[in-house]
Structure 1
């Protein structure tokens, strides 16, 4: 079994029963991100990007499953810590190319309002925060390409 297969298995099991803000199975979000990535490592990080933050899976679990340092580091970076603000979280991601690539795709997917039935004031505020973060990360990405 490939590491991507392992990542998919872990993500599907970890997100089982979760739904997104539109009421859809949550696993569809990391799968959409995975499909946008071009490298194996990026696909793995994309599909695992929320398992540590939103489920009982830990970084140690991912290490034990055989994922290497590159994947572990990127998953750790895209996992928001309880002690940091959202802006601190984004700043921590910014210098790391793989984490930045996955977070950009995450923000783009999260800003796609076509899946939402209603857009309230709270959603607008969240989208504005996502857009500011996307602009920052995109400018760094563009400067490095």
Structure 2
């Protein structure tokens, strides 16, 4: 089977979302195209995943359908990662997403587009306030999971008005110590306790908090497979 092009995947998304409209009455495919534009700096595969990010959740299309259509396995894996399964609470979905760098970037772009002020202005006030709080809480989880440069790259394309928030929420670079080890690779008891308290406190307030996961490192200080450290940022 010939390898699908980005245009092929765009057409696939348009067909899957045909007849669907977003909360303000715009054809739904325009939303997924905006999300795909936000992750364009990260390559064609990321754009494909963004175009398809709502297909499994909001249409009859299945992951097997995508694979049979020729969508690359890695793209489908990212789409599955950002899909909210039936019965899964929104906080639990976010905790799943932030374990994967690609899925996190797609969701950051999705969040940024949903949070556009001109879109929100067309919603009833009650919905506007409720969704603004929801999206703000999600950013508090998503942004710290990747490096600030990645957040800025996505948000700067999709919703530049959010750039003012980046410095306070995105994960700051880790200062390197002698030997190449970073200062947070092995948190001491005080740091670990504080993280656990912050995690518990966030959950009590009803917002998901990225799980505290120790970074696993391989030879030469490189993250091992499965590490949540950002592969595009030398600061981790």
TM-score by length of structure 1 reads 0.93
Identify the residue that residue 106 of structure 2 maps to in structure 1.
102
> Which of 1 and 2 has greater Rg?
2
Partner SS state of residue 28, structure 2? coil
- Cα RMSD between the aligned structures? 1.4
TM-score by length of structure 2 reads 0.58
Partner SS state of residue 114, structure 1? helix
Q: Is the 8 A contact 2:23 2:123 kept in 1?
A: no
Query: Which runs of 5 or more residues in structure 2 are unaligned?
Result: 148-170, 172-229
Identify the residue that residue 138 of structure 2 maps to in structure 1.
133
Query: Which runs of 5 or more residues in structure 1 are unaligned?
Result: none
Q: 1:8 aligns with which of 7, 10, 16?
A: 10
**Distance (whole Å) between structure 2 residues aligned to residue 75 and residue 28 of structure 1:** 17
Large movers: runs of 4+ above 2 Å: 142-145
Structure number with higher relative contact order (C-alpha < 8 Å, ≥ 6 residues apart): 1
Q: Which structure shows the bigger proportion of residues in helix conformation?
A: 1
Q: Is the 8 A contact 2:35 2:51 kept in 1?
A: yes
Matched positions, count: 145
**Distance (whole Å) between structure 2 residues aligned to residue 113 and residue 122 of structure 1:** 13
The answer to whether residue 36 in structure 2 is matched with residue 34 in structure 1 is yes
Identify the residue that residue 123 of structure 1 maps to in structure 2.
128
